[in-house]
Amino acid sequence: MSGLSEPSLMELPMESWMSRLPCALWDVPLFHLAIPGSHNAITYCLDTDDRSPIDLMQPDMLQKLDKFMKPLIRPFVYKWAKTQECCIKHQLDCGVRYCDLRIAHRPNDSSTHLYFYHGVYTTLTVETVLTEIREWLDAHPKEVVVLSFSHFLGLSQELHAVLLTTIRTVFASKLCPKKAEVTLRKLWASGYQVIASYEHSTERRHTELWPDIPYWWANKCKAEALIDEFERMKQQNRRPGGFFVTGINLTEDLKYICTHPTESLKDLVMSTYPTLLGWVKEQTPGEEDGSLNIIAGDFVSESCFVPTVVALNQKLLKRSS
């Protein structure tokens, strides 16, 4: 073996980091790699003119407010509901390979248009965003994304059928069947670029839909408390057998919002990223209990989050050398 040290994976071009991984990692299942993800990936386009009932953090928390208070509360909701600032193509360019997609149908909408939702609906439709993802994948044929479809607020069985048709039409042969072997080498050979998980019983009837991906959520608004909770979860829970997400997204409550009226979620996240990324650097991907797989965060293009997660795969190289 050469005395020269291997170049850091943190220095890879993040737009194409999967295709640039050392060949020693091409046969490692994706659920044993460290993969950077985007929590509530489409909140960069929340509808500021939306006048639907506000529903953030807890199903009825803000709906209980008197209707005359809602105009005062709504600006705060936008500041705290927005978890990403960059469009989906830019997030992918930055290296994100897991997208948390929370689907909804607007109330009193007679059309079959579907949107994304985080307390407020988005302006962009699901079909528009999925088409943008497909266009990006067309230009990056060796990159693979994991798309997690969930929540399905206001979706009837008919609207689930509309969504499934959209997923199939947009991604077509790029969809990876759930029985497939998900190593980069196998995916490249088959032309598969999309692993679509679907948090609904409908998934069982469709070979191209993967089951719901577990999401470890600490439900904390302080970085130190979040880290303590994840360390507890790592010790008390066996590692899930397939894909799973560790969400380092902080969760604010109404008390925190009201006592920090001039702040936003971005202020909270960016002030805690040094602590959170310090913890991420200590983590290890792989199949052993205590190892992590997908790590999702907020404002993922605004820090060293993505390169830090990708660089964890260096530990797999050292283990196999």
206: annotated active-site residue: no
Put residue 4 in one of left, alpha, beta given phi > 0 → left and psi -120 to 50 → alpha.
beta
Give how far Cα 95 sits from Cα of 2, 17, 134, 289, Å: 29, 7, 15, 26
Contact by Cβ (8 Å): 56, 83 = no
SS3 175: strand
**From CA 65, how far away is CA 59, in angstroms rounded?**
13
Q: Which of 32, 105, 118, 160 is catalytic?
A: 118
For residue 70, the tally of other CB atoms under 10 A from its CB is 15
260: annotated active-site residue: no
Contact by Cβ (8 Å): 39, 82 = no
Contact by Cβ (8 Å): 42, 117 = no
Q: Which of 39, 105, 160, 200 is catalytic?
A: 39
Contact by Cβ (8 Å): 306, 300 = yes
Residues annotated catalytic, as ranges: 39, 118
